[in-house]
């Protein structure tokens, strides 16, 4: 450990923690939880296997002396977990920046309570404005209007800057790109386009379905005057561009065409308490078992520090036939 916290084998600190609070979801986005693999007969984690909010608090507290700055609550759909605002209050008391990634289907009725509990920011997943494309991509009958109401509630509750994540798939929602930019320009909401990733084993990912960020930018530059903005920090995963008239920003997350493993300062915890040091890791470290064995406080900090200091993951940089054949956990289990 150095005086700014722990670093891994490649010299990367631990700054960011993504915590999945459930593996369940009320959407069935085809790129994440295709219904044929996550149908009626799918076995989700039993609820008793989830880390309690108190256990999550212990883990975050233990990571703080290692240099942790930000926590993102995710899932599955995190707003399905009852009383999520209680977790937010606990994290707020620890003094870490707290953000939430959600499909926003349940956000309009919870945004105020989450903001009051100390939530700093919200990212909403929205791949299409067209109701038919939205229904097709999310494979649900929750209307896109409900998601838009959730976004509006987040803006009103000042969970800013509110960001939108749009996963772009070739031949599926390319026609939604420009309408999304038009719709949110001038609202303070930043739309970010994400390259479809080969996470998990169930979505049948193929390289040919990825739309490279460079192509999206070229296409958008035909309609909009955009100039690049410097990243705020080297660990920013999004490349930022701004409208020259000051009407807002857009972003690109190019994990396939421009991997950013060199700056990856992010750990993930699954809903059942496994610590994963990479989105593509095949296995995690069972923190829940460690906590259940009575390990707490400094001993838990030391255990997490030992795991991080052995980390050498850089899957996206070495993506190849060999690595893509390795087992990988699902996005809905580990959280995006």
279 binds ligand SF4 (CB under 6 A): yes
Scanning residues 85 to 124, which ones bind ligand SAM (CB under 6 A)? Answer: 101-103
Which among 22-30, 64-72, 209-217, 220-228 is the span making contact with ligand SF4, rule CB under 6 A? 22-30
Contacts with ligand SF4 in 66-105 (CB under 6 A)? Answer: 75-77, 103
Q: By rule CB under 6 A, what string of x and - marks binding of each residue 23-52 to ligand SAM? A: --x-----xx--------------------
Residue 165 touches ligand SF4, criterion: CB under 6 A: no
- Given ligand SF4, ligand SAM, none, residue 251, with its beta carbon under 5 to 8 Å by kind, binds none
Select 193 or 224, whichever has its Cβ closest to ligand SF4: 193
Q: Does 124 bind ligand SF4 (CB under 6 A)?
A: no
- Per-residue binder mask for ligand SAM (CB under 6 A), 194-213, x = binder: x-xx-x---x----------
If DSSP states are collapsed to H, E and C, what string results for the chain?
CECCECECCCCCECCEEEEECCCCCCCCCCCCCCCCCCCCCCCCCCHHHCCCHHHHHHHHHHHHHHCCCEEEEECCCHHHCCCHHHHHHHHHHHCCEEEEEECCCCCCCCHHHHHHCCCCEEEEECCCCCHHHHHHHHCCCCCHHHHHHHHHHHHHCCCCCCEEEEEEECCCCHHHHHHHHHHHCCCCCEEEEEECCCCCCCCCCCHHHECCHHHHHHHHHCCCCEEEECCCCCCCCCEEEEECCCCCEEEEECCCCCCCHHHCCEEEECCCCEEECCCCCCCCEEHHHHHHCCCCHHHHHHHHHHHHHCCCCCHHHCCCHHHHCCCCCCHHHHCC
99 or 291: whose CB is closer to ligand SF4? 99
In the complex with ligand SF4, which residue's Cβ is closer, 84 or 291? 84
> Which residues contribute to the site for ligand SF4 (CB under 6 A)?
25, 27-29, 32-33, 75-77, 103, 125, 260-261, 264, 266, 278-280, 313-316, 332
């Amino acid at each position: 450990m150095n005086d700014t916290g722990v670093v891994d084998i490649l010299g990367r600190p631990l700054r960011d923690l993504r915590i999945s609070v459930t593996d369940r979801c009320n959407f069935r986005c085809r790129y994440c939880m295709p219904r044929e693999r996550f149908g009626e007969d799918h076995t989700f984690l039993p609820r008793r296997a989830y880390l309690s909010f108190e256990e999550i608090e212990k883990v975050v507290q233990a990571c703080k002396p290692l240099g942790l700055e930000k926590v993102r609550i995710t899932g599955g759909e995190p707003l399905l977990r009852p009383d999520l605002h209680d977790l937010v209050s606990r994290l707020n008391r620890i003094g870490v920046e707290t953000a939430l990634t959600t499909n926003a289907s349940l956000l309009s009725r919870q945004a105020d309570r989450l903001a009051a509990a100390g939530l700093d920011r919200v990212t909403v997943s929205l791949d299409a404005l067209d109701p038919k494309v939205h229904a097709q991509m999310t494979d649900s009958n929750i209307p896109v209007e409900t998601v838009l109401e959730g976004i509006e509630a987040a803006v009103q509750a000042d969970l800013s800057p509110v960001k939108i994540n749009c996963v772009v798939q070739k031949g599926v929602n390319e026609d939604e790109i420009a309408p999304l930019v038009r719709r949110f320009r001038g609202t303070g909401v930043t739309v970010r386009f994400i390259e479809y990733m080969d996470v998990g084993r169930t979505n049948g990912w193929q390289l040919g379905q990825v739309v490279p960020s460079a192509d999206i930018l070229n296409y958008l530059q035909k309609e909009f005057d955009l100039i690049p903005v410097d990243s705020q920090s080297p660990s920013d995963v999004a490349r930022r561009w701004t409208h020259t008239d000051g009407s807002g920003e857009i972003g690109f997350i190019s994990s396939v065409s421009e991997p950013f493993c060199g700056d990856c300062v992010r750990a993930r915890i699954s809903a059942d308490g496994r610590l994963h040091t990479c989105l593509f890791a095949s296995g995690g470290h069972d923190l829940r078992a460690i906590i259940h064995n009575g390990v707490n406080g400094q001993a838990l900090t030391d255990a997490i520090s030992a795991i991080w200091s052995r980390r050498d993951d850089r899957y996206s940089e070495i993506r190849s036939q060999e690595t893509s054949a390795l087992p990988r956990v699902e996005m809905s289990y580990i959280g995006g």
